[in-house]
Amino acid sequence: MSPVLDTAHIPSQDREEVIRGAVWESVVAVDIDHRPPAEDISVRIGLSTIGPLRICSARATAVTVHRTEQLARKDEEPAVFLGVQMTGTSLVAQNGRECVLRPGEFAMYESIAPYTLLFDEGVDHHFLRFPRAALALPDRLLRDTATVTLGSDNPVARLAFTYFSQLAVSDDLHQDVHADAVVEPSVELLRAVLTSQHGASSLARAPLEATLTLRVTDYIRRHLADPDLSAARIAAAHDISVRHLYAVLSRSGISLGDWIRTRRLAECRRELGGPNARLRTIAAIGRRWGFVNAAHFSTVFKEAYGTSPRAWRDEHHPRSSA
């Protein structure tokens, strides 16, 4: 996500007002208490909209953010926020409860009640805003899961951290058909996190099933280079049968073998066109991404891209004539 606000280009006397205006207009109305004096305030904010979802990615000097009771009462569109911690620590407080976030963790809080966000070490954070109505979850469940640290002890939350932190910075997912495609899975994944955290199994079952394809494909992407990646291993990792795995993927129009091969070939093409392409043999690059037979790798690469792996590399990195 490209920054749309950078205080390096704003006179120091105007920084607080400009930051406040950008946050109020694009994210939510809050009071912002900067710790450093105006001349030392440093803020970079990227803002994006994906359908009904809003994303704010921020890096900043130390700050405290307050959503006051008066501001909360004026909320015209109740929302749920995710605060995703990238580096350092932060604190989230709401409804008499607080939690500390460390890298790899996130928390949910609501716009309809006062809250405080404390960034003593500075900000390296993604803020994702979801319409409260889109989640269609009981008020009690939302109150009970607000300001709860979500992370390593919940496998669905671990997946969600990776997904939402990547969604926040992937510009190509914020546009056109890609944006339309990620809205519903994003909402359902958040539903799955909150319901599984709450232990509401009857509510969790539907969103967990709805996000199964997302979770499976994310698992495959993270294990593309593993030579023993197989349908049996993927199914076992998600506590389902191989038959159910194929059925779920089929409903999404995915052929498992073709899907894996296509993404492995894409990684090979990326490496062969990259700056270090000549540091390894073509066969070694193929083996790294699961193609153990060099001749087979060359054949399927040419079928996919209309050129051989060697020709692709030579096109991007011609040999020196010296």
The tens digit of pLDDT for each residue in 267-286 reads 999 889 888 888 889 999 99
316 membership: H or E segment, kind and range = helix 309-316
Instruction: Note the pLDDT of residue 16.
Output: 93
Any residues with CB less than 8 A from the CB of 59 and at least 6 apart, and which? 43, 44, 122, 123, 124
Distance between alpha carbon 171 and the CA centroid of its chain, in Å? 11
Q: What is the pLDDT of residues 133-185, one digit of tens each?
A: 888 788 888 999 999 999 878 888 999 999 999 999 887 777 766 777 788 88
Structure tokens, 291: 């193609």
pTM tops 0.85? no
Query: Are the CB atoms for 291 and 297 separated by under 8 Å?
Result: yes
Dist. CA 154–CA 137, nearest whole Å: 19
As a whole number of angstroms, the distance between CA 283 and CA 270 comes to: 15
Helix (H) / strand (E) element for 135: namely helix 132-135
* Contact indicator for 15, 61 with CB cutoff of 8 Å: no
Where the chain has pLDDT below 70, the residues are: 1-3, 176-177, 200-211, 319-322
- Between CA 222 and CA 233 the distance in angstroms is 13
Q: How far apart are CA 257 and CA 251, in angstroms?
A: 15
What pLDDT score was predicted for residue 321? 45
For 78, the enclosing helix (H) or strand (E) is none
Contact yes or no for 182/196 (Cβ under 8 A): no
Amino acid identity of residue 162, one-letter, is T
Residue 74: the pLDDT is 81
Residues 6+ apart with CB under 8 A from 296: none
Residues 45, 9: Cα–Cα separation, whole Å = 13
Q: CB-side exposure of 26: number of CA atoms within 13 Å?
A: 21
How many secondary structure helices (H) and strands (E) does the chain include?
A: 14, 11
Q: According to the model, what pLDDT value does residue 322 have?
A: 41
DSSP 3-state assignment of 191? Answer: helix
